[in-house]
Amino acid sequence: MKAVFMNFQELKEQMITLLEPLAEENGYELVDIDISGSMSNPVIAVMLDHPQGVDLEKIVSANEWVDIALDEADFIDSSYILEVSSPGINRPLRKPEDFVRFSGSDVHVKIDAPKGTQANFKGVLKGIDKGIVHIECGEAVEDIDFASITSARLSTKIDFKSEERK
């Protein structure tokens, strides 16, 4: 019997459950999955990382086993567009381990319910302890419940003006 998904979040969770162990078996880390478009023609973006980095050869290889796994799981009745890529410089942070691994990095975190009047936090990630993510925002350290985070990404700053103009 085919599973019926009410929304993209449920579909994403099922895809993560399917693909995360496959990624590990193939030497990759499943960073995140993003689903956009409509349920009748969704775009499924699978972001993978590899200890030696992700190049075109690794993307092509990963695309094969991701495509086969999604086709066999048959989560979607219609056609879909599959995009397999590296997480990029603004890498999503999804698991508690990510908040440990990238401690010291600039981040942008959104939460589901505003803390006071603020729902967005930008600053330096100071880690996670007992389910609480610590972000240094200027002079203050914000303590954010991991469970309330709806989106978290590395926030890489690129200064294009620093190079000498010719």
pLDDT one-digit tens code per residue, 50-98: 999 899 999 999 999 999 999 999 988 888 999 999 998 899 999 999 9
In 3D space, the residue among 111, 120, 35, 114 whose CA is nearest the CA of residue 75 turns out to be: 35
Q: Clarify whether residues 75 and 110 are in a common domain.
A: no
**HSE (CB half, 13 Å, CA atoms) of 92?**
20
Statement: residue 46 has pLDDT above 50? yes
Is residue 129 situated within a structural domain? yes
Residue where a domain stops, chosen among 63, 85, 107: 85
Domain of 66, in residue numbers: 8-85
Q: How many domains does the chain have?
A: 2
Q: Clarify whether residues 81 and 114 are in a common domain.
A: no
pTM, full prediction: 0.81
Q: Clarify whether residues 132 and 67 are in a common domain.
A: no
- Phi, psi (5° rounding) for residue 46? -105, 120
Rounded mean pLDDT, 1-9: 62
Q: What would the pLDDT profile of 100-146 be if each residue is shown by its tens digit?
A: 999 999 999 999 876 677 889 999 999 999 999 999 999 999 999 99
**Measured in whole angstroms, how far is the alpha carbon of residue 12 from the centre of its chain?**
11
Q: Clarify whether residues 52 and 101 are in a common domain.
A: no
Q: Clarify whether residues 81 and 101 are in a common domain.
A: no
Statement: residue 99 has pLDDT above 80? yes
Is residue 37 situated within a structural domain? yes
Is residue 135 situated within a structural domain? yes
Distances (CA, A) of 3 to 14, 43, 81: 10, 19, 19
Residue where a domain stops, chosen among 24, 54, 85: 85
Instruction: Please tell me the distance from the alpha carbon of residue 6 to that of residue 13, in angstroms, as a whole number.
Output: 12
| Residue 121 near residue 108 (C-beta atoms within 8 A) | yes
